Amino acid sequence: MIIIMKPHTPKEEILIQKQKLEREGFEVNLSQGENYCILGLIGDTTKIDESKIGANEYVEKILKVQQPYKLANRLFHPDNTVINVKGEKIGGNKIAIMAGPCSVESEEQIVEIARRVKKSGARFLRGGAFKPRTSPYSFQGLKTHGLELLKLARKETGLPIVTEIMTADMIDKFVEDVDVIQVGARNMQNFELLKELGKTRKPILLKRGLSATIEELLMSAEYIMSEGNENVILCERGIRTFENYTRNTLDLSAIPAIKKLSHLPVIVDPSHAAGLWWMVEPLSKAAIAVGADGLIIEVHNDPANAKCDGQQSIKPDKFHRLMEDIDALAQLGSREIYETINF
Ligand code: PEP
Ligand code: MN
């Protein structure tokens, strides 16, 4: 961090600042130019309260050299993090495919979809039991009954389950029942929820907020990690822009950016990004091409009658063909997905 003092700042003020920072444990390099005096801080500045320094009337400007997140930062952890969920790896050389309906609707629905996506090579079953809907009048999910049905589908197929948590009071139940806990876009900055999830050791799938910057997403990951849970998977799921042809705008550039800044695995959700079923295929391929560690895709056996997000859900046959293409693409990049089973 670099602190630029205003011209004509009294020498004693500069010394007071320097000593204060040294007392906080930083090494401070003073450099006096013709007009400006600059204090260069050496040490871990992630915990520094910038606003306190900025409140000093003699401070002209503060420049951050280091990112404000530490545990999620690749600088301090050069190797890619690989998260192991019951033997299934997320990160590293494997491409993790999660698939399933937007929401769990019935036993037949979730078990049938789970069987189909598994046959096509998906390694995780997604499905919402608690649904964050824009309208309170829309289907809100089957809630705890939905969790039971997900567990049933896991028992039938062996696929680990990924599902969204909405409130901290459900954490114990989710830790017990679920394999990957999803934090939805709307809760990305629910800091109390993030802190509580940080106290568990469950893998957390953290989705990027509707209008969150990459740095804000990484700071949210830091909330979870700073409580001791380092099993965080990031998810780019499209952001709000002026464009309204698609539901959101898939920020593909976020993938290489996050991979440069952080060691955490990052997956892409093409379904919520586009909001259109026919865009899921090209966006999935693009995501793999730019280096995503996996995909989370909405698949429904009867999209026209889905209780949620049918317009962006692909059918199992289409998912199967997509998986074959993804496999070919992955191999081009010397990566792999697990074998698809022909049927
Ligand atoms: C979902 O995965 O069904 C979902 C609600 O996603 P998001 O939080 O990204 O909108
Ligand atoms: Mn959905």
Same domain, 331 and 281: yes
Are 52 and 177 part of one and the same domain? Answer: no
Q: Is the CB of 185 within 6 Å of ligand 1?
A: yes
Residue 299 bridge partners (DSSP)? 314
CATH number of residue 36's parent domain: 3.30.70.1140
pLDDT of residue 341: 52
Same domain, yes or no, for 163 and 307?
yes
Statement to judge: residues 137 and 244 lie in one domain:
yes
20-49 pLDDT, tens digit each: 999 999 999 999 888 889 999 988 888 888
- DSSP secondary structure of 71-125: TTBGGG--SPP-EEETTEEEBTTB-EEEEE-SB---HHHHHHHHHHHHHTT--EE
Please check whether residues 294 and 167 belong to one and the same domain: yes
pLDDT at 323 over 70: yes
Report CA(63)–ligand 2 centroid distance (Å). Answer: 40
What's the pLDDT tens digit per position in 110-147? 999 999 999 999 999 999 999 999 999 999 999 999 99
Whether residue 78 is contained in a domain is answered as no
Domain membership of residue 22 (yes or no) is yes
* Inside any domain, residue 161: yes
Q: Is 209 in the pocket of ligand 1 (CB under 6 A)?
A: no
* Nearest-CA residue for atom 3 of ligand 1: 102
Residues 49 and 180 in one domain: no
The answer to whether residues 38 and 91 belong to one domain is: no
Q: Could you tell me if residue 73 is inside a domain?
A: no
For the record, the structure tokens of 3 come out as 């602190």
164 and 284 co-located in one domain: yes
Question: What average pLDDT does range 218-243 have in this prediction?
Answer: 98
Does residue 135 belong to any structural domain of this protein?
Answer: yes
Per-residue pLDDT tens over the stretch 42-82: 888 888 888 999 999 999 999 988 889 999 999 989 999 99
Check whether 342 has a pLDDT greater than 60: no
Ligand 1 atom closest to Cα of 269? 9
State whether 53 and 127 are in the same domain: no
Query: Contact at 8 Å (CB) between 118 and 105?
Result: no
pLDDT number for residue 343 = 45
Claim to verify: residue 92 and residue 10 sit in the same structural domain: no
What ligand has the least distance to the C-alpha of 132?
A: 1
Instruction: State whether 199 and 294 are in the same domain.
Output: yes
Question: From the CB of residue 124, how many other CB atoms can be counted at a distance below 10 Å?
Answer: 25
Q: What is the pLDDT of residue 92?
A: 80
295 in a structural domain: yes
Q: Report how many domains make up the chain.
A: 2
Domain contains 100? yes
With cut-offs at 50, 70 and 90, classify the pLDDT of residue 334. confident
Is residue 342 domain-resident? Answer: no
Element (H, E) at 273: helix 270-274
pLDDT of residue 141: 97
Q: How high is the pLDDT of residue 338?
A: 62
Average pLDDT, the chain: 95
Q: Which ligand is nearest to the CA of 188?
A: 1
Residue 273 and residue 265: Cα distance in Å, rounded? 18
Which ligand is closest in space to the CA of residue 131? 1
| CATH number where 228 lies | 3.20.20.70
Residue 272 alpha carbon to ligand 1 centre in Å? 7
Q: What is the pLDDT of residue 145?
A: 98
Residues of the domain holding 199? 83-337
Residues 17 and 140 in one domain: no
